[in-house]
A and B are shown apart, each in its own frame.
Chain A
């Protein structure tokens, strides 16, 4: 009798502990395991070259996933980020190549090609927020509109053509270095730190969490729910825009068909792997950064060891499901 009484709770506690351990340290363990695996298996893994490649590639995922973390924290989702990247990526070359504006001063054009595309996609983010808040449309559906139409707009604007360019000033955000560190990595760090501080130390950050935790209660305590939600979609749009600029600058070319393709999944996966609940109410920016690194490292590991790209897609799909499953278990 007594044995049953004591053993049942302990075994349940043990199981809970495993779930909680995986929920809390699973991502970090996965990261360390991936590092160890690569150090022993992948040739030339411990080199500046490898570090450089992985850091520059993870930067855009982190930037977009940071915005996604904020959106998901309010209980929403933003499927349009990849398309918004394509829009910003299509707009910037058109501006600095002088196709859009009748300005001759290249310096001004370069500055505008940073600012205007980001403002443009912020407007689209605001539009997403409008659909979600004013019309009470589910975020999945509301952002699905731009997921499809957004890339279409970028393709229509460029007629589906590749825009090739060589412009060192514009491309500084992707190819430039400050104190030896790639510019996009610095942007990534700034974005992540700012978002972390926003969530931790500002009123709106706490309001974001409150809205995602219990929207009704948040409204009753006087939090401007609509404004908070609109804000996160605008931020997500802006960050997607910055990521879009980095991608085209890195490629020295803008292809509306490809820029940001599948990024919504990478970003959602980074958030899920990073430990923020997809149902909202939590925003773990550092976790998201770690999640993005895990996803990048998985992709790199597969590619560096000769696994075809297509198989990497299947692995990524499995990774997303497992990560979400573990998160839900850890919470329950």
Chain B
């Protein structure tokens, strides 16, 4: 009986705490932008805005894939390694043209994500074990392919356009991210399969009984996360002119933190694409502001503080989420 009540009340619980978190993240983002604009001269300069968007598009992309995975109640710890591997593949293919580079990197990501999906759905291994192993395997593959060095890309075939150039005055990586988020939103909010993703996160057994294709959907979600990580790897190689087999460490945390900051519950069943984007922007904005603050000379935080701050952020958000959940459950 109580479990029945719990299931029935779950959508409302998730909704109220999720909405609060979503409102919170937008208010915090607006507050940070206002703070930055008032405090630093060049904060709202086109240069800062454009380079901010160009650099952080990669993280926005992996956060989108992570959002879908987490909504199903899973987790993907392999995104950083997969992005590193994809960047190496893309760099090797870049002399053949921008398209082979792009397609090759994305295919590498898709393959890794599909293997995750197969291990999780067919072998029934917990997502964190499967993707942790994939993280190892992807880094191993990247290092093997690249011979433990970074692989420089070709500058003659237009491959670097993807990461470095603008289209209509807006960085191309940002266009890619915007497009991915629009598609992601339409999929999650308007497409039946997107509703299936949410239903699975709410309860796999129930979704199964409802006749939803649980295994197929789960597989697709991990494949998508791999694909987006691959795309992020392509942008990485294109933007920095090299495939980097050791890059991507800690990216999974950035993605998880963005998703969670955006109000998506780590237990699955609820989540929003738009709020994930806001979460990613908020996290990136914190580092942008720290850079400016370093520039002012009042404080000097080494790059090492980044991971501490990221961890602290994740901590604050999950504790707040837990408190909200407990309160709404008690009510």
B305 touches A152 (CB 8 A): yes
Closest to B142 in A: A310
B140 touches A312 (CB 8 A): yes
Shortest C-beta distance, A131 to chain B (Å), equals 7
User: Which residues of B114-156 are within 8 A (CB) of A?
Assistant: 119, 123-126, 128-130, 132-134, 136-137, 139-144, 148
Shortest C-beta distance, B248 to chain A (Å), equals 13
Contact of A268 with B by CB under 8 A:
yes
State whether A144 and B253 are in contact (beta carbons under 8 Å apart), knowing that A156-B304, A310-B140, A317-B134 are contacts in the complex. yes
Contact of B277 with A by CB under 8 A:
no
B311 touches A156 (CB 8 A): no
Contact of A320 with B by CB under 8 A:
yes
Contact of A253 with B by CB under 8 A:
no
Mark each residue of chain B from 31 to 56: 1 if its CB lies under 8 Å from any CB of chain A, else 0: 00000000000000000000000000
Q: Which residues of A contact B188 (CB under 8 A)?
A: none
State whether A321 and B119 are in contact (beta carbons under 8 Å apart), knowing that A152-B307, A313-B140, A328-B125 are contacts in the complex. yes
Contact of B4 with A by CB under 8 A:
no
B136 touches A308 (CB 8 A): no
Contact of B15 with A by CB under 8 A:
no
Mark each residue of chain A from 144 to 171: 1 if its CB lies under 8 Å from any CB of chain B, else 0: 1111111111011001100000000000
Shortest C-beta distance, B251 to chain A (Å), equals 11
Closest to B75 in A: A140
A140 touches B119 (CB 8 A): no
B125 touches A321 (CB 8 A): yes
State whether A268 and B302 are in contact (beta carbons under 8 Å apart), knowing that A149-B307, A149-B315 are contacts in the complex. no
State whether A313 and B318 are in contact (beta carbons under 8 Å apart), knowing that A320-B129, A321-B125 are contacts in the complex. no
Contact of B7 with A by CB under 8 A:
no
A314 touches B319 (CB 8 A): no
Q: Which residues of B contact A320 (CB under 8 A)?
A: 129, 132-133, 136
Q: Which residues of A contact B260 (CB under 8 A)?
A: 141
Contact of B20 with A by CB under 8 A:
no
Contact of B11 with A by CB under 8 A:
no
B137 touches A328 (CB 8 A): no
Shortest C-beta distance, B299 to chain A (Å), equals 13
A159 touches B302 (CB 8 A): yes
A149 touches B140 (CB 8 A): no
B124 touches A308 (CB 8 A): no
Q: Which residues of A contact B119 (CB under 8 A)?
A: 321
State whether A313 and B137 are in contact (beta carbons under 8 Å apart), knowing that A149-B308, A156-B305, A278-B129 are contacts in the complex. yes
Complex formed: what's the CA distance from A197 to B141 in Å?
A: 42
Shortest C-beta distance, B243 to chain A (Å), equals 14
Closest to B319 in A: A135
User: Which residues of A169-204 are within 8 A (CB) of B?
Assistant: none
B311 touches A152 (CB 8 A): yes
Contact of A142 with B by CB under 8 A:
yes
State whether A146 and B143 are in contact (beta carbons under 8 Å apart), knowing that A136-B322, A136-B326, A314-B137 are contacts in the complex. no
Complex formed: what's the CA distance from A159 to B305 in Å?
A: 10
User: Which of B144, B267, B302, B326 is in CB contact (< 8 Å) with A311?
Assistant: B144
B144 touches A308 (CB 8 A): yes
- Output the residue of B130, B304, B323 with the most chain A CB within 10 A: B304
Shortest C-beta distance, A245 to chain B (Å), equals 22
State whether A149 and B302 are in contact (beta carbons under 8 Å apart), knowing that A140-B75, A265-B132 are contacts in the complex. no
Contact of A318 with B by CB under 8 A:
yes
Mark each residue of chain A from 109 to 150: 1 if its CB lies under 8 Å from any CB of chain B, else 0: 000000000000000000000010001111011101111111
Complex formed: what's the CA distance from A313 to B132 in Å?
A: 12
Shortest C-beta distance, A27 to chain B (Å), equals 17
Shortest C-beta distance, A87 to chain B (Å), equals 12
Complex formed: what's the CA distance from A149 to B312 in Å?
A: 7
Contact of B256 with A by CB under 8 A:
yes
Shortest C-beta distance, B163 to chain A (Å), equals 25
Shortest C-beta distance, B290 to chain A (Å), equals 13
Contact of A299 with B by CB under 8 A:
no
Contact of B69 with A by CB under 8 A:
no
Complex formed: what's the CA distance from A314 to B133 in Å?
A: 8
Complex formed: what's the CA distance from A69 to B77 in Å?
A: 21
B308 touches A153 (CB 8 A): yes
Q: Which residues of B contact A318 (CB under 8 A)?
A: 133, 137
Contact of B10 with A by CB under 8 A:
no
Shortest C-beta distance, A108 to chain B (Å), equals 30
Contact of B266 with A by CB under 8 A:
yes
Contact of A316 with B by CB under 8 A:
yes
Q: Which residues of A contact B308 (CB under 8 A)?
A: 149, 152-153, 156
User: Which residues of A67-116 are within 8 A (CB) of B?
Assistant: 77
Closest to B305 in A: A156
Q: Which residues of B contact A142 (CB under 8 A)?
A: 318
Q: Which residues of B contact A316 (CB under 8 A)?
A: 133, 136
Contact of A325 with B by CB under 8 A:
yes
Shortest C-beta distance, B70 to chain A (Å), equals 10
Contact of B250 with A by CB under 8 A:
yes
User: Which residues of B144-179 are within 8 A (CB) of A?
Assistant: 144, 148
Shortest C-beta distance, B130 to chain A (Å), equals 7
Shortest C-beta distance, B86 to chain A (Å), equals 16
10 closest A-B pairs by CB? A149-B311, A313-B140, A152-B307, A310-B143, A317-B137, A152-B308, A155-B304, A314-B140, A317-B133, A135-B322
Other A-B pairs, 5, CB within 8 Å; known A148-B310, A314-B140, A324-B129: A149-B312, A160-B302, A265-B133, A312-B140, A325-B123
Give 14 A-B contacts (CB < 8 Å), ordered by A residue.
Answer: A137-B322, A141-B256, A141-B266, A141-B318, A144-B256, A148-B310, A150-B311, A152-B306, A160-B304, A278-B126, A311-B144, A313-B137, A314-B144, A320-B129
- Point out residues on A near B: beta carbons under 8 Å: 77, 131, 135-138, 140-142, 144-153, 155-156, 159-160, 262, 265, 268, 272, 278, 308-314, 316-318, 320-321, 324-325, 328
